[in-house]
Structure 1
Amino acid sequence: MAENVIIAGVGMTKFVKPGQNDPYPMMGATAVRDALSDAGISYDAVQQAYAGYTYGDSTCGQTVLYQVGMTGIPVINVNNNCSTGSTALFLARQAVASGTVDVALALGFEQMQPGALGSHWDDRPSPFDAFDAETDALVGHPEIPLALRYFGGAGKAHMDKYGSTMTDLARIRAKASRHAVNNPLALFRTELTPEDVLAAPVIWEGVMTRLMACPPTCGAAAAIVVSEEYAKKHGLNGTVQIIGQAMSTDTASTFDSHDMMRVVGYDMTTAAAAQVYQQTGIGPEDLDTVELHDCFAHNEMITYEGLGLCPEGGASQFIADGDNSYGGKYVTNPSGGLLSKGHPLGATGLAQCYELTRQLRGTAGSTQVDGARTALQHNLGLGGACVVTMYQAQ
């Protein structure tokens, strides 16, 4: 990255259940206006925009941004499954880091439908055909929706290999609820105990209860990305800098290893994290807080190990010691994460950016991690892509 890259402004709507949301153009425009206001610039200053969404027709990004202004700038629509928002941020950061532009906008939004995720294009090959075939072979249980089989299967693989338990997963979900109590933008803000989580309706006996899965939600988030020189010249808040970022996609090990943890992106996580640690010279031991992709409690558990927050096979002890929360080694998902905040696919990566920017500015209010100066973001989408971003307060 030739140019230092600053997150000058962020904005986010409250995530809500499908049917309770404003239409996507309104949600997206609200997040953009809030990010512009936070940065202290007008939309006329934006030179490129990257708009992320998963469920929608072509050029939805233009539809959103035309509510804010029609300035003729390039608008690039981005779809990378659940890592869509962070992919938009990855592209905006590249545009600024390369010196192509001084100001770029990354936007993510999603207007979702109730129920389990599904394809809207059933008359052609699915991008998940190979993933489904491997999951069928390793997991079975065709009566369970696929997303639950993917991540529940990964959790079961961890249980079988390392002896982790449903109690570990329940503790992760309970931790998420404790954090979300303090986040006014989270969907679920009721504190749960591990016992509450275990007593919830069973989706997969011995593997998952309903509370261990994130809910489909609607919402939007945005970030204004600028060069350090531009921030200084225009008196913008230059506190939060992206100091490292990497995107990884699947390798042969996703299927050749015959391991559900790898089917759901464990190796993408380790590869992207390793690149970022190498870029920055900062290791996991130096992090203060992490927003990671907890679409299921199972994915949070295996991601602790993929990011190097604990050794492989060490997640159970990490959870038992409370090293994933306030007072422990790292505060993971101070926002409440996807499990409590919700998961509007295109918006999630930029909602993580929103939370970490506020953490490093020291303006996160009741979710604030004391003394936070270095933060890591992990956003994963099957199919697949994983984006890991390191932020630091200057």
Structure 2
Amino acid sequence: MQRCVNVIGVGMSPFSPASLSANPTALVGETVRQALADAGLSARDIGTVFAASGLMDGGTLQRALEQTGLGHVPLEQLPKGEESSTLLYHACQAIELGLTECVLVLGVQGAPAPLPDLGVMFERLGATARAYMARYQTRRETFAMIAVKARQHAELNPLAVFTSALTLDDVLDASTIAEPLTHPQFAWPTSGAAAVVLCSSELASRRGNRPVVRVIAQACVSPVQVSGFGPASAFACTGYEVNVAAARELYEQAGRGPQEIEVCELHDSSTLNELLLYEALGFCPEGSAEKLVEDGDNTYGGNLVVNPSGGLLSLGQAPAVSGLAQCIELVHQLRGNAGRRQVADARIALQHQTGADGTVVTTLYQRE
């Protein structure tokens, strides 16, 4: 039996470019209590805790949960390095399949994730950006405009790390990482903590008039599922085909199209990735992302607001937390309590997250 999944509680710490405080256990407790209070529930209402941690081992995490009254709740902890997007997917599945009625999803990135040898990856991204520019006569300024937009949004987000405004010249004149992409056009490692409470519709209905955001569709697609189904695109190193497949499956599940989405949080690990995702997610035809950017259709006043939180470009990459942070931003948007970042009358929102192994999770949320 499948049931609807509802997001009823959220809590998050500020992101940081350094390790968390000397007492990350206290920060976990504070974040969990935020989410429970927001949901209007107590620890005894939680059936399972799903957790991903960039550093905390099982024992340390268990002790942190004990301080919130969740010490005796079954804990499903994903292996270190597991992304919170996959974690959220597993938690939703548990409710849909009737395995539990209410779960708390917790992500903790105790220190910035160590960077692998990025030389080859940067080389591929630079080559891909240049190939896109050559194919569609796109200007390097277009990629830089995405970084400027990210900072404009982040200026309104007190939880973001990188909030200082950037001009187009600031971005273009910054140190080059992979021509034409410069330093502000990449998401760099950070740390933080976030918690989300999910529940069935039955439990949500018993909470009275408290705000409810429903998960109306969710897709999880791995590179293995799309390999061998035709030649890879010139943009394969960004997982383009996997993103297209995950978007298509999501829209088919929901019976909705990309034109109905008013706000989106997507995995902007670089400005190149964000630009290609505009096309892969169906927000514009292939080859027309530059027009979308230059028309301002990715920000306030346009047809769609992308990454109102500032995205990974401004919050940084915290693999155990980033997916939950996206969910939390969209919940605030759909509730109408995002403050100065509020997207007017937002009713349907899309979340997109890519894991380290290339697996893509896409989720559609709707305000009830």
Same-fold call, TM > 0.5?
yes
| Residue matched to 1:210 | 183
The 2-side partners of 1:234 and 1:86 are apart by 27
| Residue matched to 1:65 | 65
Deviation at 1:373, TM superposition (A): 0.5
Identity %: 38
Residues 62 and 211 from structure 1, CA distance in 2 versus in 1: closer, same or farther, beyond 3 angstroms? same
Unaligned residue ranges in structure 1 (runs of 5+): 120-143
| Residue matched to 2:263 | 289
CA contact (8 A) 2:51 2:77 kept: yes
Alignment of 1:5-154 (within 5 A): 5-19=5-19, 21-55=21-55, 57=57, 61-79=61-79, 84-113=83-112, 117-118=115-116, 145-154=119-128
1:339 aligned onto 2:339: no
Residues 161 and 28 from structure 1, CA distance in 2 versus in 1: closer, same or farther, beyond 3 angstroms? farther
**Deviations for 1:286-337, whole angstroms, at most 9, x for unmatched residues?**
0010000001111101111110011111111111111100011100000000
| Residue matched to 2:251 | 277
| Residue matched to 1:200 | 174
Quote the RMSD (CA, aligned, Å): 2.3
Alignment length (residue pairs): 367
- SS of 2:331's partner is helix
Residues 329 and 157 from structure 1, CA distance in 2 versus in 1: closer, same or farther, beyond 3 angstroms? same
CA contact (8 A) 1:15 1:186 kept: yes
The 2-side partners of 1:365 and 1:372 are apart by 13
1:350 aligned onto 2:334: no
Residues 163 and 239 from structure 1, CA distance in 2 versus in 1: closer, same or farther, beyond 3 angstroms? same
Residues 60 and 308 from structure 1, CA distance in 2 versus in 1: closer, same or farther, beyond 3 angstroms? farther
1:3 aligned onto 2:3: yes
Unaligned residue ranges in structure 2 (runs of 5+): none
Letter aligned with residue 8 of structure 2: A
CA contact (8 A) 1:80 1:384 kept: no
Deviation at 1:215, TM superposition (A): 2.1
TM-score normalised to the size of structure 1?
0.86
Residues 355 and 57 from structure 1, CA distance in 2 versus in 1: closer, same or farther, beyond 3 angstroms? same
The 2-side partners of 1:74 and 1:156 are apart by 49
| Residue matched to 1:300 | 274
Deviation at 1:277, TM superposition (A): 0.4
- SS of 1:251's partner is helix
The 1-side partners of 2:255 and 2:350 are apart by 13
Residues 315 and 63 from structure 1, CA distance in 2 versus in 1: closer, same or farther, beyond 3 angstroms? farther
Deviation at 1:210, TM superposition (A): 0.6
Residues 224 and 328 from structure 1, CA distance in 2 versus in 1: closer, same or farther, beyond 3 angstroms? same
The 2-side partners of 1:333 and 1:249 are apart by 23
1:189 aligned onto 2:187: no
| Residue matched to 1:382 | 356
| Residue matched to 2:207 | 234
Letter aligned with residue 349 of structure 1: G
- SS of 1:245's partner is strand
Residues 90 and 20 from structure 1, CA distance in 2 versus in 1: closer, same or farther, beyond 3 angstroms? closer
Residues 20 and 78 from structure 1, CA distance in 2 versus in 1: closer, same or farther, beyond 3 angstroms? closer
Letter aligned with residue 99 of structure 1: G
The 1-side partners of 2:291 and 2:307 are apart by 18
The 2-side partners of 1:27 and 1:260 are apart by 43
Deviation at 1:224, TM superposition (A): 0.2
The 2-side partners of 1:66 and 1:169 are apart by 46
Residues 71 and 241 from structure 1, CA distance in 2 versus in 1: closer, same or farther, beyond 3 angstroms? same
Deviation at 1:9, TM superposition (A): 0.3
The 2-side partners of 1:33 and 1:249 are apart by 34
Residues 257 and 155 from structure 1, CA distance in 2 versus in 1: closer, same or farther, beyond 3 angstroms? farther
CA contact (8 A) 1:86 1:379 kept: yes
- SS of 1:223's partner is strand
Deviation at 1:62, TM superposition (A): 3.1
Letter aligned with residue 104 of structure 2: L
Deviation at 1:196, TM superposition (A): 1.0
Residues 254 and 80 from structure 1, CA distance in 2 versus in 1: closer, same or farther, beyond 3 angstroms? farther
Residues 271 and 307 from structure 1, CA distance in 2 versus in 1: closer, same or farther, beyond 3 angstroms? same
1:328 aligned onto 2:328: no
Residues 252 and 35 from structure 1, CA distance in 2 versus in 1: closer, same or farther, beyond 3 angstroms? closer
Deviation at 1:88, TM superposition (A): 1.3
